[in-house]
Amino acid sequence: MSAYQSDEEQVEALKKWWKENGKAAVAGVVLGLGGIVGWQAWTQHQTSIAEQTSAQYQQLSMAINTGNIESAAKQAELLISKQSKSAYAQFAALSMARQHLEQGDAAAAQDQLSWVMGSSSEPAIKQIARLRLARIKLSEGDVAGAAKLASEASKDAFAGEFAQLQGDIALANNDKETARKLYQEALDNKVGDAELVQMKLDDLAVAAIN
């Protein structure tokens, strides 16, 4: 007997299979197609949102560059309220924190930076917010608050920046020896503004001689 069925047998077998499994097969195909269509619709929707969010952030940046802070603040508020989990919203808050600080409103700047720390899931963005918030606290005389923030920072690519900050905190506490060690640590960790840190080290060395 042939291993292959005759045409009639294949047709009968197909009819039997369809009777037993046809409805489920159709449902599976429909669900599969629905899943594909649903996924495509979802990705298109997400792409549209991302494009809108990007455009809003660009408008915010342009407003800041042209000095239209009121418009920038409105764009930032819109981004933060509608897309709070997006990196654009968090960068908007970082940008507005800087504007608030330049306008002399340290409290508003700290609020924005605290929001970024609490809302961002990106370690780098959280570190930037932490660093800036600690610097503001130190400049405002809240040495303990700055020290707490710095002590809780992760040891990562920002290690040099936080070492410099901790050196500044030590200096504010008149602990020059600790400050010197921390500034050297900042240099060893490739701090961004190495020239400034070296100047601080040199000033400490001159002070020690005098």
List pLDDT tens digits, range 143-193. Answer: 999 999 999 998 888 999 999 999 999 999 999 999 999 999 999 999 988
Give residue for tokens 């195909």.
29
Helix (H) and strand (E) counts for the chain? 9, 0
How much is the pLDDT for 210? 60
Both structure tokens of 22:
């046809």
Q: What is the mean pLDDT of residues 113-125?
A: 90
The pTM assigned to this predicted structure is: 0.70
3-state helix, strand, coil in the chain (%, to 5): 80, 0, 20
Contact (Cβ atoms closer than 8 angstroms) between residue 131 and residue 165: yes
**Stronger pLDDT, 163 or 32, i.e. the higher one:** 163
What confidence tens digit (pLDDT) does each residue in 76-101 have?
888 888 777 778 888 888 888 888 89
How much is the pLDDT for 19? 54
- Using DSSP, state whether 155 is helix, strand or coil: coil
Kindly list the structural domains of the chain, giving each domain's residue range(s) and its CATH number in brackets, ordered by start: 10-117 (no CATH), 122-210 (1.25.40.10)
The answer, yes or no, to whether residue 14 has pLDDT greater than 50, is no
Q: C-alpha 191: how far from its chain's center?
A: 21
CA dihedral defined by 160, 204, 193, 104, rounded to 10 degrees? Answer: 100
pLDDT band at 7 (very low <50, low <70, confident <90, very high): very low
